[in-house]
Amino acid sequence: MMGDELLFQPLLPWPVLGALGVLAVLAVGAGLWFGLRGVWWRAAALAALGAALAGPALRHETREALNDIVLVVTDESASQSLAVRSHTHVPVVFNNPDNFQREAFFEERSALAAMSDTAKTSNASQKFLLDIARSANEASALVRKAWSDYRSPIDYGLTDLGLKRVAAMINAGLPARLYYTSYANNAFDTHVVQNDLHGRLLTYTSDALSGFMQDMARIGRADDVVVMVFSEFGRRVPENTSLGTDHGAANNMFVIGKSVKGGHYGDIPSLTSLDAGDNLKFTTDFRRVYSTMVEGWLKQKAAPELLNGTFKQFGMFA
């Protein structure tokens, strides 16, 4: 359960704050009456001081940690991606499941456990922070157990791209609808000597995806899982002077799963009719695919605010 409300935890009693407010209004009025310079700056400072003393808490949430995991991210990148920046839900983000815990000396553990007890404080901001800490502790315990219990004979290739960890979480039945993982270190940024490198990267990707889908079939979850593969940028068509290609505007996307009706969706772009920057002229807005995934697979409403518009779905699910 989650809820948002604006609460106030005043640093001074309300009567004292009220008296200060009256004095501030009288002071500003007197300044205006006598034409004192800088009166508006003083008024703004008094207003800011009053707001601080009132102690606003902009958000108050209560959550059931084990039933409110919406997004799990297995992140190997140096900085967090946009996937973890959620307006409402707090995603669970980890790299190595074995290390996904709060380290502490033995003497500190009881104190850290008590810190997550939200019943011991009436301050809404502190309660929110303790709620997050409790949620993280419980989620990390779930993740570590899921990983320690997971065994698979499936070969994911040279690198599993985090998909083996995703398989472990699904196998454990974590209450998550979305999983996100990414290639580490921006590997597909092939500005130099693209040909061999690009071929190897696609082989690693193919092996990992194939292993993941085989694993889903092995644990009986193939009907429940669909994978969407995308990149935030494409490549330009002409080769550059370093035997590579530079960043481009258009790209392709893959949707993989037992429930997907295979085939090509959207019109194939021309390799010769390019825009002024040597980019492919895209024929399908990528948000059509997002809309299809949100509504066609997750059975959620893709509100215009979510995608900044309304987009027709592809009929790609059986």
Percent of the chain with pLDDT over 90: 46
Q: The tokens of 91 are what?
A: 């995603």
Q: The tokens of 255 are what?
A: 């949707």
Per the listing, tokens 């009719």 go with 273
- The chain-wide mean pLDDT, for the chain, equals 81
pLDDT at residue 6, rounded to an integer: 45
pLDDT at residue 149, rounded to an integer: 95
For residues 259-267, average pLDDT: 94
Least-confidence region, from 78-92, 128-142, 228-242? 78-92
pLDDT at residue 228, rounded to an integer: 97
Q: The tokens of 313 are what?
A: 């779905």
End-to-end CA distance of the chain: 33
Q: What's the CA gap between 134 and 113, in Å, rounded? A: 9
**pTM score above 0.85:** no
Cβ-based neighbours of 36, under 8 Å, separated by 6 or more = 30
Other Cβ atoms closer than 10 A to 181: 22
Q: What's the CA gap between 225 and 159, in Å, rounded? A: 21
For residues 40-58, average pLDDT: 61
pLDDT at residue 119, rounded to an integer: 65
The more confidently predicted of residues 49 and 197 is 197
pLDDT at residue 21, rounded to an integer: 72
For residues 273-302, average pLDDT: 93
User: Do 161 and 208 touch, CB atoms closer than 8 A?
Assistant: yes
Percent of the chain with pLDDT over 70: 71
Other Cβ atoms closer than 10 A to 248: 19
Supply angle C-alpha 299, 144, 106, rounded to 5.
140
Using CB atoms within 10 A of its CB, is residue 24 exposed (0-12), middle (13-18) or buried (19+)? middle
Least-confidence region, from 1-10, 152-161, 282-291? 1-10
User: Do 226 and 293 touch, CB atoms closer than 8 A?
Assistant: yes
pLDDT at residue 258, rounded to an integer: 95
Q: What's the pLDDT tens digit per position in 122-157? A: 777 877 777 777 777 788 888 999 999 999 999 999
pLDDT at residue 13, rounded to an integer: 65
Q: What's the CA gap between 84 and 73, in Å, rounded? A: 7
Other Cβ atoms closer than 10 A to 23: 11
pLDDT at residue 24, rounded to an integer: 72
